Amino acid sequence: MKITIAQLNPIIGDIKGNLEKMKDVIQRYDNSDLIVFSELFLVGYPPRDLLERKWVLQAVERAIEQLKGISKNAGSTGILFGAPVSTHRNFGRGLYNAAVLIYQGKLIMCQHKSLLPTYDVFDEARYFDPAEDIGVVEFKDEVLGISICEDAWNIPEPWQKQVYKIDPISILAKKGATIFINISASPFYINKEKIRFKIMKDHTLKYRVPFILVNQVGANDELIFDGRSICIDAKGFPVEVFPPFKECVKTIDTKAEGKEDGFIPQDEIESLHNALVLGIRDYMRKCGFEKAIIGLSGGIDSAVTCCLAAEAIGPKNVLAVTMPGPYSSKGSVEDSQKLVDNLGIKFIEVPIKQIYLSYLDSLRPHFEGQKEDITEENIQARIRGNILMALSNKFGYLVLSTGNKSELAVGYCTLYGDMTGGLAVISDVPKTMVYKLAHYINRSSEVIPDAIIKKVPSAELKPGQTDQDTLPPYEILDQVLYHYVDEGCSAEEIIAKGFDPETVRWIVKAVNRNEYKRRQAAPGLKVTTKAFGMGRRMVIAARYEY
């Protein structure tokens, strides 16, 4: 059987636009036996509370009817796609997450998703009811075992346990499936493709049945989808591995034999870089922004963010702003100038010293008798945030904030200051990984000046300031944060791993007390297993042991 895999980038809620994408593929690949699109393709993933709008669901129903009409003229080509469909019951959520198979104007099969994830960024039980039945369908010379994303993930590895009571793939195998097809919207994080490939390969080896995974590509809000759709033969060898982070439509033959070395994982930092570039590009495109503005401090975080933005939307669409203050070093401005020269982007300077002094003059009567402290530092950061927002409002730029995960975790950032922005590009990238990104960006030539990479990190908000005056060394900080935030270890468990008790307790306490800041942060692109944002739901007003 010739199956066309359509790895495409839908826009959430754009049912008309997503349908047009489908029409285009159907017209161009009408010699295929079957064309397969990804999970919930008609509405895009994740649609979230759009699923609670009747007019959205009515638009989906009309689109499905149109696809039935299109399939009448598609010859012997079947169309398999994801969509929300009604349960036609007056209890429960009232919707299924469905894989819909249409052939020659008729609905041949509608397989509903069985396993509804409710962990991390997923909240599917909020919207959908689970499938009441799992079945196969005879189609041409094959028996299709159709599943949807999570349905293929209920194996002990990599979770060290079986999360759900049933295993849909096992049921499909017992019912005689001769080929597995999984339509997916599986979000990216570093090295996830290795886990995904192993799971699919294990299914083929266990049941000796070929496996096709069709995964969504593109970025929606915080989530990035890497694609990497794949076809694996019955021996567990890849027949076709789709490219990461870009649309691709290709036809494969289910009888083709794969190659043992057919799957080569991406380099970690390369995949991180490309994911962030896609995340910026899609967020801006889908939100209607053409240009971005970034505050350049002369530090590595803003430099990396600037490079990512220039690659995502083109240098001519990026404006960099340096805002030297009373404690800014001469080198910070000069290094920023070198960076923008290398990138070929527009660069302006807006000094803040006089604005800052004006603030102090206005507040002096009210601050009388008080020593200078972090308040005066934060005033500088907030002035800079206001300047960026003023330029954003005037010219329609999207402000990209530049704080990293390490800073956001412990609150080493200023609310309404350097946290200002519409998208927090590297908020899920630990500081130590930011340096790796910088070296990757400079892999062919020096884009980021070496002086920026080598300089001691500093907010430059008071004389002689460095990050390490306040924070533990980033090499230690990032390890402890990984154990606490990503793995969920307690302070005592982390200390038992050999870390200094005082350092660990300081970090854990800092993470907990700064939850209120993160709740007000811009959306951040998710690239690790546990990002601050939609996948981490911690309380603010709480008291608990750590």
Residue 425 neighbours by CB under 8 Å, 6+ apart: 276, 279, 280, 305, 308, 309, 400, 401, 402, 524, 525
Task: Judge whether 307 counts as a catalytic residue.
Answer: no
236 is in an annotated binding site: no
- Examine the pLDDT at 546 and tell me if it is beyond 70: no
Model confidence at 352: pLDDT above 90: yes
Q: Can you give the pLDDT at residue 447?
A: 97
78-86 sheet: strands from edge to edge = 106-112, 95-103, 78-86, 34-36, 2-7, 248-253
Query: Do residues 234 and 302 both lie within one domain?
Result: no
Given this model, what pLDDT does residue 544 score? 77
CB neighbourhood size of 349 (10 A) = 13
Within-domain flag for 402: yes
Q: Can you tell me the distance from the alpha carbon of 184 to that of 164, in angstroms, rounded to the nearest whole number?
A: 18
Contact predicate 426/402, CB 8 Å: yes
> Quick one: what percent of the chain has pLDDT higher than 90?
90
Is residue 402 part of an annotated ligand binding site?
yes
Find the mean pLDDT for residues 139-167: 86
Q: At 313, phi and psi to the nearest 5?
A: -125, 0
| 369 domain residue, yes or no | yes
Statement: residue 300 has pLDDT above 80: yes
At 157 the pLDDT is 66
Q: Which is it for the CA torsion 169, 173, 176, 180, positive or negative?
A: positive
Distance CA 432, CA 427 (A): 13
149 is known as an active-site residue:
yes
The answer to the question of residue 508 being in a domain is: no
Tell whether 264 is covered by a domain. Answer: no
Query: The domain spanning residue 345 has which CATH number?
Result: 3.40.50.620
Q: What pLDDT was estimated at residue 161?
A: 67
Alpha carbons 86 and 51: distance in angstroms, whole number: 11
268 part of the active site: no
Domain that holds residue 159: 2-256
Q: Give the end of a domain, one of 214, 232, 256.
A: 256
Question: How do residues 82-113 score in pLDDT, each as one tens digit?
Answer: 999 999 998 999 999 999 999 999 999 999 99
| The predicted structure's pLDDT at residue 75 | 86
Is 490 a domain residue? no
CA distance 210 to 256: 10
Whether residue 358 is found in the same domain as residue 246: no
Other beta carbons less than 10 A from residue 457's beta carbon = 20
pLDDT at 33: 97
Tokens read off for 507: 């970090």
249 and 368 fall within a common domain: no
Please tell me the predicted confidence (pLDDT) of residue 314.
98
Q: Span 336-364, mean pLDDT?
A: 96
For residue 221, what pLDDT is reported? 96
Same domain, 245 and 381: no
pLDDT for 525 equals: 98
How many Å apart are CA 429 and CA 441, to the nearest integer? 15
Per the annotation, does 296 bind a ligand? yes
pLDDT recorded at residue 180: 98
Cα(190)–Cα(434) distance, integer angstroms: 14
- Indicate whether 492 belongs to any domain: no
Q: Which of 367, 397, 366, 363 is nearest to 382 (CA)?
A: 363
Residue labelled with tokens 């939609």: 534
Which residues contact residue 65 at a Cβ distance below 8 angstroms, ignoring those fewer than 6 apart? none
Catalytic residue among 21, 39, 142, 193: 39
The CATH number of residue 74's host domain is 3.60.110.10
Q: Is 403 annotated as a binding residue?
A: no
For the segment 255-260, the average pLDDT, to the nearest whole number, is 93
Q: Are residues 226 and 297 in the same domain?
A: no
Is position 70 annotated in a ligand binding site? no
* Mean of the per-residue pLDDT values of the chain: 95
H/E element, 355: helix 353-367
- The average pLDDT across 120-127 equals 95
225, 130: one domain: yes
At 408, list the tokens.
């956001």
Assess whether 322 and 185 both reside in one domain: no
User: Is the domain of 295 the same as that of 425?
Assistant: yes
| Confidence at 227, pLDDT banded by 50, 70, 90 | very high
For residues 214 and 295, state if they share a domain.
no
Partners of residue 95 on adjacent β-strands? 86
Catalytic residue among 149, 231, 306, 489: 149
Residue 368 lies in a domain: yes
Residue 350 has a pLDDT of: 97
Is 300 annotated in a binding site? The answer is: yes
Tell whether the model's pLDDT for residue 158 goes beyond 70. no
Long-range own/partner contacts, residues 201-205 (CB < 8 A, 24 or more apart): 201/232, 201/236, 202/155, 202/157, 202/236, 203/152, 203/169, 204/180, 204/232, 204/233, 204/234, 204/235, 204/236, 205/235, 205/236
Based on the domain organization, do 452 and 369 belong to the same domain? yes
Rounded Cα distance, 210 and 201, in Å: 9
Give the list of residues 6+ apart from residue 179 with CB closer than 8 angstroms, or none: 1, 142, 143, 144, 145, 209, 210, 211, 212, 254
d(CA 56, CA 14): 10
In a domain, 363, yes or no: yes
Omega within 30 of 0 (cis) for the link into 46: yes
pLDDT tens per residue across span 392-447: 999 999 999 999 999 999 999 999 999 999 999 999 999 999 999 999 999 999 99
Structural domain total, the chain:
2
Residue 242 shares a structural domain with residue 349: no
Q: What are phi and psi of 428, to 5 degrees?
A: -110, 20
Same domain, 247 and 116: yes
Q: Which of 189, 221, 256 is the last residue of a domain?
A: 256
Query: Does the pLDDT value for residue 160 go beyond 80?
Result: no
Boundary residue ending a domain (221, 256, 291): 256
Instruction: Decide if pLDDT at 297 tops 70.
Output: yes
Determine whether the annotation assigns residue 299 to a binding site.
yes
pLDDT surpasses 80 at 166: yes
pLDDT of residue 151: 96
